[in-house]
Structure 1
């Protein structure tokens, strides 16, 4: 991958960035008197929706995800390295595989839960789930489906489908990262997997799950040893954080998620992970070459959609302005 390969698309990305929602747009939505007024802020933007229909159904996710799907379709056509786009769409593909596997196993209809994002069509994924084979899917993805189906046949635990797809998602993400071999992308992947593991430990311990649960739940694809995390978990989640994560570049920031009662706030941890990735991709604002401007734009669109849903759901449920501000992610370039 040559940095100069991205010169053309980066010029286009700069024009796309001008259409991103700004901090003041989100602030206007937060300050809006009601849901209808918040939706008014989106008039004239790239988001297409029937306001009366949205107010009736309260389905904020559909128009936001339709918009995101259109963005990804265009970027797949433009990107010199489509695998770069896969770094972001892969989680939707593995989500769809979870849905389709459960639909296949339980003989129930979950079509409404599918998200049409990713370079593989829904029909291709259905064929993979039904046959266990594919000429277009990555071998890791094929193995993921085969393993999940085989495990269900042996143990009959539908919950294991989610665990398998999460595990293979991170394995697939690591494979793409290693193939691209670009340090900012490696940093993003390390952050995603390591903090996923930390969050999983916190939630598992809070739920009183046995230690054996962590062996299936945690990913081995992170930069911090899975076994070390499991061993230290015997001393509690805070001990895991301080002993194994304090040496990371973001170690000091992790202290902010520890509450006075010596417990970890998972909502703050999730938000911190987004903020850390924001710090990495924001460097793309100052670069003319290489893939970072494209990565930054994709992350900006993902964050934009996340913020829209957070605010619209919040306005619908009459959540206080200050609480909404606490939940909103940083806007790209801010």
Structure 2
């Protein structure tokens, strides 16, 4: 991947970065009286176009979905190397595959949770799956679907749909990152796997699951070996924090697990996961040529949209500004 191929894309990305919501704007929304005031503040930003035609503030998800879709369309448009955006869009493909499989096997209408974003056209993906015509589908999607269908026919366990497709997603993601030979992308994937596996470890430990269940749930290809994580199942949280401290994710893991010890909830750990990914991408601000700024901008926008969703849900539930702040992620800006 030639970093000079991204010259124009980086220039355009730098312009887009100036439109990211500032801390001051986020603070105004946190302090806003209600969700209607939040919407009024958003009208002053680049979200104004997405807000057009909104009938009720409670339909805020339409704004966020439209903005996310717009961001991906824009970034695919400005970069010739689509894989840079694919690395972040891929999770939506696998999300949609999960929904498709669940709709079929559970006989439920789940159309409201499809996400029309991905590395491939969502409608085509759905049409191919429902028709059984998979020839045009990515071979890795086909393998994932074959595996999850075979497993469900044998076990009839819908929980394993997520588990199996997550494993195929991360394998697919790792292959994409490896093919770019960009260190940031490999760090992103390996560290994300580590964070995901440690979260899984703590969740299953809390649920009293056994080692066999944990082994099946863990994702390979992280910096921390699966064996090391499996052997931690019976360790205390303090020992787990110390054991993984030397890895890239160690400081964030410690901070998240300290909060978990105090509250018994993994929500704080998940905030640390998101903040770690934001921190990882901050170095891209200083890169003049290369794919990293494009990737980092999409990460920043996804985080921004997540923050807006938290604020809006909180306003609908009449939570205090202090409570809202506890739930927010770090901004890229």
Gaps of 5+ in 1: none
Other-structure match for 1:256: 255
The DSSP-based 3-state class of the residue aligned with 2:251 is helix
List per-residue Cα deviations over 1:151-184 (Å, max 9, x = no partner). 1111211221111111111111111111111111
Indicate the larger mover: 42-51 or 23-32. 42-51
Distance in 2 (CA, whole Å) between partners of 1:229 and 1:157 is 25
Note if contact 1:259-1:265 (Cα within 8 Å) is conserved in structure 2. no
1:226 aligns with 2:226: yes
Are the equivalent residues in 2 in contact too, given 1:310–1:328 (CA < 8 A)? yes
Deviations 1:231-286 (A, max 9, x none): 2212244433321x111134234322233895775222111121111122111212
C-alpha displacement of 1:147: 0.4
Corresponding residue of 2:56: 54
Q: What corresponds to 1:163 in structure 2?
A: 163
1:285 counterpart = 2:274: no
Residues 17-96 of structure 1 mapped to structure 2, 5 A cutoff: 17-47=17-47, 48-49=50-51, 53-55=55-57, 58-96=58-96
Q: TM-score, normalised by structure 2?
A: 0.93
* Counterpart secondary structure, 2:94: helix
Aligned to 2:147: 147
Secondary structure of 1:234's partner? coil
Does structure 1 retain, via aligned residues, the 8 Å contact 2:12–2:78?
A: no
Q: Count matched residues.
A: 330
State the partner residue of 1:14.
Answer: 14
What TM-score do the two structures reach when normalised by structure 1?
0.92
Query: CA–CA distance in 1 between the matches of 2:225 and 2:14?
Result: 39
When residues 221 and 128 of structure 1 are mapped into structure 2, their CA distance, relative to the original with a 3 A threshold, is: farther
Cross-structure match for 2:325: 325
- Whether the 8 Å contact between 2:310 and 2:328 is mirrored in structure 1 is yes
Show the 5 A alignment for 1:107-256.
107-130=107-130, 134-243=134-243, 245-256=244-255
Distance 1:36 1:83, change over 3 A: same
1:3-60 per-residue CA deviation (whole Å, 9 max, x = no partner) reads 10100111111111121111111100011111111111101323222586233xx232
C-alpha change, 1:228 and 1:295, in structure 2 (3 Å) is: same
Distance (whole Å) between structure 2 residues aligned to residue 155 and residue 329 of structure 1? 38
Deviation readout 1:116-148 (Å, 9 max, x if unpaired): 011312233224534666344332221111100
Cα distance in 1, alignment partners of residues 304 and 260 from structure 2: 33
Asked if structure 2 preserves the Cα contact closer than 8 Å seen for 1:215 and 1:230, the reply is yes
Q: Where in structure 2 are there 5+ consecutive unaligned residues?
A: none
CA deviation after TM superposition for structure 1 residue 314, in Å: 0.8
What is the rounded CA distance, in whole Å, between the counterparts of 1:177 and 1:247 in structure 2?
Answer: 23
Q: Is the 8 A contact 2:90 2:173 kept in 1?
A: yes
Q: Residue 306 of structure 1 corresponds to which residue in structure 2?
A: 306
Whether contact under 8 Å (2:43, 2:51) holds in the other structure is no
Is the 1:201–1:214 contact (alpha carbons within 8 Å) kept by the matching residues of 2? yes
Shift of 1:309: 0.2
Q: Secondary structure at the match of 1:305?
A: helix
8 Å Cα contact 2:177/2:189 also seen in 1 = yes
Q: Structure 1 residues 249 and 161 mapped into 2: Cα distance closer, same or farther (>3 Å)?
A: closer
Aligned-partner Cα distance in 2 for 1:51–1:320:
29
RMSD of the TM alignment (CA)?
2.0
Asked whether the 8 Å contact 2:34–2:316 carries over to 1, the reply is yes
Find the aligned partners of 1:230 and 1:211 in 2 and give their Cα distance: 6
